[in-house]
């Protein structure tokens, strides 16, 4: 297994700039400013095949390339550190333990798109992350990696730490921009895409922390090196956050294409208490669940799509045989209804409707028709909302019904749940 | 242009226009809730879903730009199914309380639900509920003096909040929380009172926002809609009156893109209730033994006509005087002056009662003498700089104010405010200059000095050089470099519109100030550039029309001098009467004439002389002296109370006719209701009186007949067609259209410093409040719910020195009189200045005024 | 002003820091939250005055984000993550345990004003579930009943 993002993660006090530099840090930036024009960097990243690690998997170089070259408006880079997808905690570890790798990546990206201001938007709950990033930004200024005339190149960049304040939707890039503009975090309609009209109506790129953390090594070692890792269409590595009924939860950086079984059994140490595996969410609740039969699926963008799900954020939640699927859907729907921004009708109204039905089913007041009604309501949300939250919200319902319809029927017939979560607080 | 097909029909739209706009252009209906043509689209409600070929998902038509060759289906099964789905979602939490909802019958949600034809809901859960209190029945609350909120009905289109923020720049209604509990509300203890609040009620697609005066008053289908024009300020907003029987239930906007863009202010929206007010004069009244007693129209006509004959025989025609009205229609005013010039035979007529120093009568001979708005409201969007001088635009001309905000917001047009006090528009201004009251002429001269170029001859240059920035800075209190910087900005502006308002018109040096601005406009080129020019903003709904109709002692209709032979001939032919070419008395001369006993007979048409004349004691004394006075009025005003005969007049809503707005736009208004009680339209009263006196030439049986006469006689109105005035009205242009080619010679306009008055340290200024207009709106119970108390606004430091706090009772005292009111401390006013609204009859502010002193000095003491 | 001078200074420092003034709203609200532990109408009004932004807009923004309580909480506001990963490992039990221990329900404050309990969505502590957060500041991870009891004791003492 190759380590790119996590190569120094467990080194002592790696969050300090002297240690980061000692371990090879900021050489990517130095090389960038010394050897490459912004367009070269974009080309290199395009060639490397790096895709966004936040969830959507959009090719990063392509995104940078959308920034209009002739625009007279200022350009902005926003680091999306609003990591809020349930079951996902990879960016948190990067920010806490190796903050500079993401900052270095962000500086290179800013240079590539011609931005002189960069916002590092961290979800408000990540207090330690904010402290580490703030400190890291200050250190970077001190060492001349930020500010005026960086490393004598004539390139200027200011970076601001910005803290969200409790809103999952602000991880959606347009809502993040609204939030940065000091507004309620309502998703914006696209187009115009942020590359054309983003922050303050100016061209803007929004990149995930993990995505940017890959950039310094791509610059240092080249696109071909990166392409040699992972699969042809999903090059590089991916960090998976493993949680739930698993013996060794935590973050694991794997080459793209590693089988799911390897992650769960070899690295994760298998299911807690040797119970039977029931379901796996492979990339955060916004992606469909998998079951035991999918254990040999490879963890990369394409293979997971083939298996009927997605790579998503890499938040792998493992559920054993004691887990009630209706309750799982209910918990997740509670989350989505709580986080729906309320701007567009289907998501605002639909998430609550779905929640109400699931609640009845779970609490013994379900009817047989409710199961199909759930699917109908999902159909009425999917593809009709402004942002992906609506599409994500229906996923847990659709996929749990797909694999565990009989469990839903049992909830109706038995007037409630016969398999409440077994795990209790020790 | 982009060509697309909608439901198989080809259509061309401009680049950047949306699929929805393309469908609308074809006349294809596509439902919308959150979309509004004047607001930025947000694509939130999703009801306008359409199918676009080759696109996997349904598209939201209000935000999808039309692209060449697109095939759009509004009516395909897939699109219909999509909209059904959205409709089902929208009704999930809506209470469906249509039977008791005030919006019933005009509710977008109801209409679209009907159109979508989905009569089943699969939703079986309890609905989300906002409760205003544990005990509330209807889950509603009052959020302002004129507004109610029923949050459970809200479908979160956000149009209310968007309108206020985007268009009006107001922040007293917001969206709070998130998700299904997103709530529209005011913030604690801050009711919604902004002057555009009523628009939110009008654009609310459901019964969430309702207006206090209209809610539960009537079902809309029991009313009739009448096209009207607002009868308050001069902006000329188009209204729809909703009437049933003889009652007006509400007024809403009747969108005219050239004027109001579909927004109206709350005084226009809610002030209609003066029409049905119980204090209206019910019958003609004749003074008997010092008391006004009801009489019949026949009795009064007999009395007046006999008195006219008697007085004319005894004292000749110049013993008569008439005062017309800036509130009455063109037809009313036209007949009024025609009556005086033909039946009576005098030019003793005027209508400019509120001005101490009258400007010369406008003349169509040259543009600077027109004293009018030479641009249009729409042009404010096309100009490159707007300079407002002496006007609290937001209060005096709310809709022009909106257009200025739009120019600033959408086109980044720099706005310059030159006022002696801070006004609400300052949040939009790039530059705000606050010269001391009375020094404005010096400031403009100084700007001219800084903008000097070859257009000025040596004489002018030498003269204007005496107004150096340093010297003028000392006089005006404006920093010297601010003056130079502003001059530079105005000179370099590609186009520039100057707007001069109430404070210029009533300024002690009004004419010099206007001339000075013309000098500046000439030097900076603004006189001859497109979408540039100098604009005077008259105050009332038909101020311009009263001028145009010749209610002036020295002008025939069309701003033509009395002695312009060819025109006079024409007029005499049409009127079948000789007309005196001797200029008559102006307003001050009329009053002096009565005072001296020269004028025996006074006829006042809808003008509250006592309240509006800038010397109340004098006006009262003069009226007491008048041998015979006729007052035609809506309410028994202070003036009417002193009349020999009072004639009940119909308000704008009870008659039809035309008004000419501030931008010279002639607009037709329909009759809303029958004249209340025994009142009659002013034109009809005059016509009947003339007929009573056997002047067959006054045989008008409709307003159209009068308008037709106006449109075939009055030069600037020539060619207008009453029938074809249509929905948007028509601007008269005349000389204005040639202004780009006009020549102008610079005038030397010297500052005449104002003289202070020993013992009276404060300068009194007056004006309209944002929710009131003149003294008429004070009768509106609706508007009085927002503001009904007079006050005196004064500078904070001044007040502190006198130990005065807000709401303290204070005396205002001048050499002429003394009045009591409440203090309101403010940082908007410069030290030494106070502001008193003219809108409340209880506060007789003109008691402090002396017609012979151009500046009113007062002192203030605590009660 | 109700806001302390220190908070006022912090807010004013944010005022002109960003390309557009409204961006300062959230950082300013953090400063207020740090001083008071919640946002009141009065403090938000003052924030608006300092930033020269309409009070209404401040309230609108504050109302959207869940990290700013609008009412006073306990001195220690214990928010338990009840999203999936934590729920799988006993988060509901954790809430119940806290409610029993502190004798108040979720959303309430203990009579002595020391503790209040809340539920929160995923805090990115899934690998160390179940967890709770104290005052939007400290994560308490890998919780057991014993650890919770110890935490409560420590907090009570301090």
pLDDT higher than threshold 80 for residue B789: yes
Are A382 and A394 in contact, with CB atoms under 8 Å apart? yes
Omega of the bond leading into C130 within 30 degrees of 0 (cis) = yes
Q: What is the dihedral of CA C134, C139, C141, C143, to 10 degrees?
A: 0
Considering only CB atoms, A167 lies closest to which of C19, C66, C128, namely C66
Query: Residue for token digits 């005052």?
Result: C135
A325-413: CATH topology: de novo design (two linked rop proteins) (1.20.1440)
- pLDDT at residue number B137: 52
CB-CB under 8 Å, B46 with A342: no
Contacts of B791 (CB under 8 A, 6+ apart): B821, B822, B823, B824, B836, B837
Distance CA B33, CA B19 (A): 16
Q: What is the CATH number of the domain that holds B134?
A: 3.30.70.20
CB-CB under 8 Å, C63 with B178: yes
Q: What is the dihedral of CA A194, B60, B156, A378, to 10 degrees?
A: -100
Query: Are B403 and B521 within one domain?
Result: yes
CB-CB under 8 Å, B49 with A352: no
Are A384 and B46 in contact, with CB atoms under 8 Å apart? yes
Query: Which class would CATH give C76-157?
Result: alpha beta
- pLDDT at residue number B132: 65
Q: Which helix (H) or strand (E) holds B605?
A: strand B601-605
Sign of the CA dihedral running C140, C141, C145, C150 = negative
CB-CB under 8 Å, C125 with A164: no
pLDDT in tens, C32-46: 999 999 999 999 999
Which pLDDT band, with edges at 50, 70 and 90, does B328 fall under? very high
Structural domain contains residue B243: yes
CB-CB under 8 Å, A341 with B41: no
pLDDT in tens, C13-25: 999 999 999 999 9
Picking from A389, A394, A296, the residue whose alpha carbon sits closest to that of residue A354 is: A394
In chain A, the residue whose alpha carbon lies closest to the alpha carbon of B60 is A384
**Min Cα–Cα distance to chain B from C158, Å:** 34
Number of A:C CB contacts under 8 A? Answer: 161
Please, what is the angle between helix C55-64 and helix C25-36, to 10°?
Answer: 80
Distances (CA, A) of B495 to A112, B382, B386, B531: 41, 9, 9, 6
Mean pLDDT of B63-92: 96
Q: How many Å separate Cα B623 from the centre of its chain?
A: 30
Distance CA C62, CA C8 (A): 18
- pLDDT at residue number B130: 84
**Min Cα–Cα distance to chain A from B386, Å:** 25
CB-CB under 8 Å, A244 with C126: yes
**Min Cα–Cα distance to chain C from B628, Å:** 57
CB-CB under 8 Å, A425 with C130: yes
Query: Are B289 and B252 within one domain?
Result: no
Q: Which chains touch C (3 or more CB pairs under 8 A)?
A: A, B
> B90: which chain A residues are within 8 Å (Cβ-Cβ)?
345, 349
What do you get for the CA distance between the two ends of chain A, in Å?
A: 35
CATH of region A237-320, choose from 3.40.50.300, 3.40.30.10, 3.10.20.600, 3.20.20.70: 3.10.20.600
Distance CA B335, CA B743 (A): 35
Put simply, the chain C residues between 2 and 21 with a CB less than 8 A from any chain A CB are 17-21
Q: Sort strands B628-633 and B601-605 into parallel, antiparallel or unpaired.
A: parallel
**Min Cα–Cα distance to chain A from C117, Å:** 16
Please report, for chain C, the start and end positions of each structural domain, with discontinuous segments joined by +: 5-64, 76-157
> B130: which chain C residues are within 8 Å (Cβ-Cβ)?
none
Query: Are B784 and B856 within one domain?
Result: yes
In chain B, the residue whose alpha carbon lies closest to the alpha carbon of A378 is B85
Percent pLDDT > 90 in chain B is 93
Considering only CB atoms, C61 lies closest to which of A74, A183, A249, namely A183
CB-CB under 8 Å, A342 with B177: yes
pLDDT in tens, B129-146: 887 665 555 678 999 999
- pLDDT at residue number B735: 67
Q: Which two tokens stand for residue B55?
A: 């696109």
Distance CA C78, CA C151 (A): 11
pLDDT higher than threshold 60 for residue B573: yes
Among B35, B68, B92, the domain-final residue is B92
Mean pLDDT of B399-426: 96
Considering only CB atoms, B46 lies closest to which of A339, A344, A353, namely A344
In sequence order, what are the beta bridge partners of B762? B858
> A169: which chain B residues are within 8 Å (Cβ-Cβ)?
178
Mean pLDDT of B608-612: 96
Contacts of B745 (CB under 8 A, 6+ apart): none
Picking from B477, B388, B374, the residue whose alpha carbon sits closest to that of residue B739 is: B374
Structural domain contains residue B549: no
- pLDDT at residue number B798: 96
* Residues belonging to chain C: 158
Q: Which helix (H) or strand (E) holds B29?
A: none
The residue of A166, A340, A342 whose CB has the most chain B CBs within 10 angstroms, and thus the best one to mutate to test that interface, is A342
Taking chain A (426 residues) in runs of 10, the rounded mean pLDDT of each run is 95 97 97 97 97 94 95 96 96 98 98 98 96 98 97 97 96 97 95 96 98 98 97 96 97 97 97 95 96 96 96 96 95 97 97 97 95 97 95 97 97 87 65
- pLDDT at residue number B317: 97
Distance CA A256, CA A393 (A): 26
Distance CA A72, CA B16 (A): 21
Distance CA B685, CA B689 (A): 6
Considering only CB atoms, B89 lies closest to which of A338, A342, A345, namely A345
CA atoms within 13 A on the CB side of B453: 13
Interface residue B94 vs chain A (CB under 8 A): no
- pLDDT at residue number B134: 59
Question: Which one-letter DSSP state was computed for residue B153?
Answer: G
Mean pLDDT of B581-601: 97
Q: Sort strands B533-536 and B247-253 into parallel, antiparallel or unpaired.
A: unpaired
Percent pLDDT > 70 in chain B is 99
Distances (CA, A) of B627 to A81, B242, B596, B603, B686: 86, 43, 11, 11, 20
In chain A, the residue whose alpha carbon lies closest to the alpha carbon of C63 is A184
Q: What is the dihedral of CA C54, C59, C65, C66, to 10 degrees?
A: 160
In chain B, the residue whose alpha carbon lies closest to the alpha carbon of C60 is B176
- A17-227 matches A325-413 in fold: no
Contacts of B785 (CB under 8 A, 6+ apart): B145, B146, B212
Picking from A320, A418, A422, the residue whose alpha carbon sits closest to that of residue C90 is: A422
Query: Are B175 and B262 within one domain?
Result: yes
> B176: which chain C residues are within 8 Å (Cβ-Cβ)?
59-60, 63-64
Rg (CA), chain C: 18
Q: Which two tokens stand for residue B740?
A: 């780009």
Percent pLDDT > 70 in chain A is 98
The residue of B48, B82, B179, B412 whose CB has the most chain A CBs within 10 angstroms, and thus the best one to mutate to test that interface, is B179
Which residue range(s) make up the domain with B408?
373-536
Q: Phi then psi for B96, rounded to 5 degrees?
A: 55, 40
Distance CA B308, CA B316 (A): 10
* ipTM attached to this prediction: 0.95
Q: Rounded to 5 degrees, what angle do the CA atoms B264, B270, B275 make? A: 120
Query: Are B268 and B125 within one domain?
Result: yes
Q: What is the secondary structure of B384-424 as a DSSP string?
A: S-EEEES--HHHH-HHHHHHHHHHHHHH---EEEE-SB--G
CB atoms within 10 A of CB C89: 27
Considering only CB atoms, A352 lies closest to which of B44, B56, B180, namely B180
Structural domain contains residue B754: no
Please report, for chain A, the start and end positions of each structural domain, with discontinuous segments joined by +: 17-227, 237-320, 325-413
Q: Where are the beta strands (DSSP E) in B425-515?
A: 431-433, 497-500
Buried b (16+ CB within 10 A) or exposed e, A334-368: bbbbbbbbbbbbbbbbbbbbbbbbbbbbbeeebee
Which pLDDT band, with edges at 50, 70 and 90, does B336 fall under? very high
Alpha helices in A143-251 (DSSP H): 173-180, 209-221, 223-227
Query: Are B391 and B445 within one domain?
Result: yes
Interface residue C63 vs chain B (CB under 8 A): yes
Q: Sort strands B71-73 and B49-52 into parallel, antiparallel or unpaired.
A: antiparallel
Q: How many Å separate Cα B487 from the centre of its chain?
A: 30
Which pLDDT band, with edges at 50, 70 and 90, does B689 fall under? very high
Query: Are B624 and B714 within one domain?
Result: yes
> A365: which chain B residues are within 8 Å (Cβ-Cβ)?
none
Alpha helices in chain C (DSSP H): 5-15, 25-36, 41-51, 55-64, 84-88, 91-102, 145-157
Q: Which two tokens stand for residue B526?
A: 């603004």
CB-CB under 8 Å, A315 with C126: yes
The residue of A78, A86, A242 whose CB has the most chain C CBs within 10 angstroms, and thus the best one to mutate to test that interface, is A86
Query: Are B88 and B112 within one domain?
Result: no
**Min Cα–Cα distance to chain A from B92, Å:** 7
Q: Rounded to 5 degrees, what angle do the CA atoms B721, B722, B726 make? A: 90
Q: What is the dihedral of CA A123, A124, A130, A134, to 10 degrees?
A: 100
Among B536, B563, B581, the domain-final residue is B536
pLDDT higher than threshold 70 for residue B105: yes
In chain B, the residue whose alpha carbon lies closest to the alpha carbon of A167 is B178
CB-CB under 8 Å, A351 with B45: no
Q: Helix, strand, or coil here: A229? A: coil
The residue of C70, C123, C124 whose CB has the most chain A CBs within 10 angstroms, and thus the best one to mutate to test that interface, is C124
Contacts of B703 (CB under 8 A, 6+ apart): B329, B331, B655, B656, B657, B658, B681, B683
Sign of the CA dihedral running B298, B301, B303, B305 = negative
Weakest-pLDDT range from B42-56, B296-310, B360-374, B417-431: B360-374
Number of domains in chain B: 5
Distances (CA, A) of A423 to A121, B624, B730: 35, 97, 79
Question: Which one-letter DSSP state was computed for residue C58?
Answer: H
Superfamily of domain A17-227 in the CATH hierarchy? NADH-ubiquinone oxidoreductase 51kDa subunit (3.40.50.11540)
In chain A, the residue whose alpha carbon lies closest to the alpha carbon of B92 is A349
**Min Cα–Cα distance to chain A from B492, Å:** 23
Mean pLDDT of C72-78: 94
Distance CA B206, CA B811 (A): 49
């Amino acid at each position: 297994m190759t380590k790119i993002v996590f190569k120094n993660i467990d080194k002592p006090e790696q969050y300090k700039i002297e240690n980061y530099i000692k371990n090879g840090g900021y050489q990517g930036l130095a090389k960038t400013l010394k050897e490459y024009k912004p367009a070269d960097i974009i080309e290199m990243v395009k060639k490397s095949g790096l895709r966004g690690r936040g969830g959507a998997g959009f090719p990063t170089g392509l995104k940078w390339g959308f920034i209009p070259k002739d625009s007279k408006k200022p350009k902005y880079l926003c680091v999306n550190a609003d990591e809020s997808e349930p079951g996902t905690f990879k960016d948190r570890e990067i920010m806490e333990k190796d903050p500079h790798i993401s900052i270095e990546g962000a500086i290179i990206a800013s240079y590539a798109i011609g931005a002189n201001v960069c916002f590092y938007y961290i979800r408000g709950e990540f207090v330690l992350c904010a402290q580490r990033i703030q400190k890291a930004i200050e250190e970077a200024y001190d060492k001349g990696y930020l500010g005026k005339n960086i490393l004598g190149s004539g390139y200027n960049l200011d970076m601001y730490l910005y803290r969200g304040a409790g809103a999952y939707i602000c991880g959606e890039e347009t809502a993040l921009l609204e939030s940065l503009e000091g507004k309620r975090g309502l998703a914006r309609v696209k187009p115009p895409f942020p590359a054309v009209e983003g922050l303050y109506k100016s061209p803007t790129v929004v990149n995930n922390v993990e995505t940017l953390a890959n950039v310094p090594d791509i610059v240092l070692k080249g696109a071909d090196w990166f392409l040699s890792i992972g699969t042809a269409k999903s090059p590089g590595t991916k960090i998976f956050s493993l949680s739930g009924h698993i013996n060794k939860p935590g973050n694991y950086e794997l080459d793209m294409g590693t089988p799911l079984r390897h992650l769960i059994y070899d690295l994760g140490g298998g299911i807690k208490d040797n119970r039977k595996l029931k379901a796996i969410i492979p990339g955060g609740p916004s992606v469909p669940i998998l079951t035991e039969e999918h254990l040999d699926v490879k963890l990369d963008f394409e293979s997971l799509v083939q298996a009927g799900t997605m790579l998503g954020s890499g938040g792998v939640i493992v559920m054993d045989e004691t887990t009630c699927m209706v309750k799982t859907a209910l918990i997740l729907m509670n989350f989505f209804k709580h986080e729906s921004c309320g701007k567009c009708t289907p998501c605002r109204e639909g998430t609550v409707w779905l929640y109400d039905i699931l609640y009845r089913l779970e609490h013994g007041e379900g009817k047989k028709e409710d199961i199909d009604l759930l699917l109908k309501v999902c159909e009425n949300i999917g593809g009709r909302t402004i942002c992906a939250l609506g599409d994500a919200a229906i996923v847990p319902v659709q996929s749990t019904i797909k694999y565990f319809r009989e469990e839903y029927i049992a909830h109706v017939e038995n007037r409630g749940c016969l398999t409440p979560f077994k795990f209790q607080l020790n | 242009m982009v060509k697309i097909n909608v439901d198989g029909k080809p259509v061309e739209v401009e680049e950047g226009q949306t699929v929805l706009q393309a469908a609308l252009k074809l006349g294809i209906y596509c439902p919308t809730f959150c979309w509004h043509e004047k607001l930025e689209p947000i694509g939130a409600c999703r009801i306008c879903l359409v199918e676009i070929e080759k696109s996997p998902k349904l598209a939201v038509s209000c935000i999808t730009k039309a692209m060449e060759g697109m095939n759009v289906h509004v009516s395909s099964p897939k699109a219909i199914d999509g909209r059904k789905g959205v409709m089902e979602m929208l009704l999930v939490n809506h209470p469906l309380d249509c039977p008791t909802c005030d919006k019933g019958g005009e509710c977008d949600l109801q209409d679209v639900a009907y159109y979508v034809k989905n009569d089943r809901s699969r939703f079986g859960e309890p609905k989300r509920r906002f409760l205003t209190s544990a005990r509330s029945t209807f889950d509603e609350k009052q959020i302002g003096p004129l507004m109610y909120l029923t949050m459970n009905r809200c479908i979160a289109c956000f149009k209310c909040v968007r309108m206020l923020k985007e268009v009006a720049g107001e922040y007293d209604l917001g969206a709070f929380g998130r998700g299904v509990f997103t709530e529209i509300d005011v913030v604690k203890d801050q009711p919604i009172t902004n002057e555009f609040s009523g628009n939110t009620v009008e654009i609310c697609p459901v019964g969430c926002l309702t207006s206090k005066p209209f809610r539960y008053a009537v079902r809309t289908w029991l009313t009739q809609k009448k096209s009207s024009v607002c009868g308050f300020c001069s902006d000329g907003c188009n209204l729809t009156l909703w009437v049933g029987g003889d009652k007006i239930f509400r007024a809403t906007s009747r969108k005219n893109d050239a004027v109001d863009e579909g927004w109206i202010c709350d005084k226009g929206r809610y002030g209609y209730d003066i029409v049905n007010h119980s204090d209206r004069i019910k019958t003609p009244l004749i003074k008997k033994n010092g008391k006004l007693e009801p009489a019949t129209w026949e009795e009064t006509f007999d009395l007046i006509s006999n008195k006219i004959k008697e007085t004319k025989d005894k004292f000749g025609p110049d013993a008569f005087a008439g005062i017309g009205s800036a509130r009455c229609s063109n037809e009313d005013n036209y007949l009024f002056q025609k009556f005086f010039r033909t039946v009576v035979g005098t030019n003793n007529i005027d209508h400019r009662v509120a001005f101490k120093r009258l400007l010369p009568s406008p003349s169509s001979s040259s543009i600077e003498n027109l004293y009018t708005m030479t641009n249009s409201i729409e042009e404010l969007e096309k100009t490159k700089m707007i300079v407002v001088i002496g006007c609290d635009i937001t209060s005096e001309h709310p809709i022009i104010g909106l257009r200025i905000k739009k120019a600033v917001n959408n086109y980044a047009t720099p706005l310059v405010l030159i006022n002696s006090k801070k006004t609400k528009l300052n949040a939009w201004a790039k530059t705000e200059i606050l010269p001391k009251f009375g020094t404005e002429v010096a400031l403009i001269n100084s700007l001219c000095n800084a903008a000097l170029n070859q257009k000025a001859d040596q004489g002018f240059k030498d003269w204007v050089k005496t107004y150096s920035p340093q010297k003028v800075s000392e006089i005006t209190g404006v920093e010297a470099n601010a003056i130079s910087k502003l001059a530079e900005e105005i000179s370099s502006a590609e186009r520039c519109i100057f707007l001069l308002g109430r404070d210029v018109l009533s300024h002690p040096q009004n004419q010099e100030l206007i001339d000075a601005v013309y000098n500046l406009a000439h030097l900076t080129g603004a006189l001859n550039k497109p979408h540039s020019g100098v604009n005077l903003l008259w105050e009332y709904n038909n101020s311009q029309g009263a001028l145009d109709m010749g209610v002036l002692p020295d002008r025939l209709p069309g701003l033509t001098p009395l002695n312009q032979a060819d025109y006079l001939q024409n007029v005499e032919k049409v009127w079948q009467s000789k007309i005196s070419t001797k200029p008559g008395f102006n307003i001050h001369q009329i009053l002096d004439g009565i005072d001296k006993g020269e004028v025996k007979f006074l006829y006042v048409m809808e003008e509250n002389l006592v309240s509006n004349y800038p010397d109340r004691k004098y006006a009262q004394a003069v009226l007491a002296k008048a041998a015979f006075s006729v007052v035609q009025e809506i309410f028994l005003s202070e003036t009417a109370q002193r009349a020999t005969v009072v004639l009940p007049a119909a308000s704008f809503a009870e008659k039809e006719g035309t008004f000419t707005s501030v931008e010279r736009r002639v607009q037709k208004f329909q009759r809303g209701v029958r004249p209340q009680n025994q009142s009659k339209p002013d034109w009809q009263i005059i016509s009947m009186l003339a007929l009573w006196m056997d002047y067959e030439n006054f045989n008008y049986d409709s307003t159209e007949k009068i308008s037709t006469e106006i449109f075939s006689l009055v030069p600037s109105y020539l060619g207008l067609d009453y029938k074809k005035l249509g929905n948007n009205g028509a601007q008269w242009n005349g000389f204005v259209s040639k202004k780009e080619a006009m020549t102008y010679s610079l005038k030397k306009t010297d500052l005449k410093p104002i003289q202070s008055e020993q013992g009276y340290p404060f300068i009194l200024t007056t004006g309209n409040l944002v929710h009131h207009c003149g003294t008429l709106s004070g009768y509106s119970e609706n508007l009085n719910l927002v503001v009904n108390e007079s006050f005196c606004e004064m500078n904070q430091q001044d007040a502190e020195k006198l130990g005065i706090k807000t709401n303290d009772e204070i005396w205002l005292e001048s050499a002429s009189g003394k009045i009591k009111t409440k203090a309101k401390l403010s940082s908007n006013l410069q030290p030494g200045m106070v502001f008193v609204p003219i809108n409340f009859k209880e506060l007789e502010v003109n008691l402090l005024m002396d017609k012979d002193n151009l500046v009113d000095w007062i002192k203030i003491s605590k009660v | 002003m109700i806001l302390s001078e220190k908070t006022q200074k912090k807010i004013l420092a944010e005022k002109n820091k960003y390309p557009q003034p409204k961006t300062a709203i959230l950082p300013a609200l953090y400063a207020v939250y740090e001083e008071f532990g919640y946002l009141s109408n009065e403090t938000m009004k003052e924030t608006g005055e300092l930033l020269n932004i309409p009070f209404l807009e401040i309230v609108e923004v504050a109302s959207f984000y869940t990290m700013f309580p609008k009412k006073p909480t306990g001195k220690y506001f214990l928010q338990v993550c009840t999203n999936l990963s934590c729920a799988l490992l006993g988060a509901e039990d954790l809430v119940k345990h806290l409610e029993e221990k502190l004798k108040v329900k979720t959303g309430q404050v203990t009579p002595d004003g020391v503790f209040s309990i809340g539920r929160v969505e995923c805090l990115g502590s899934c690998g160390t579930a179940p967890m709770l957060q104290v005052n939007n500041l400290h994560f308490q991870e890998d919780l057991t009943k014993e650890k919770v009891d110890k935490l409560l004791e420590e907090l009570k003492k301090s």
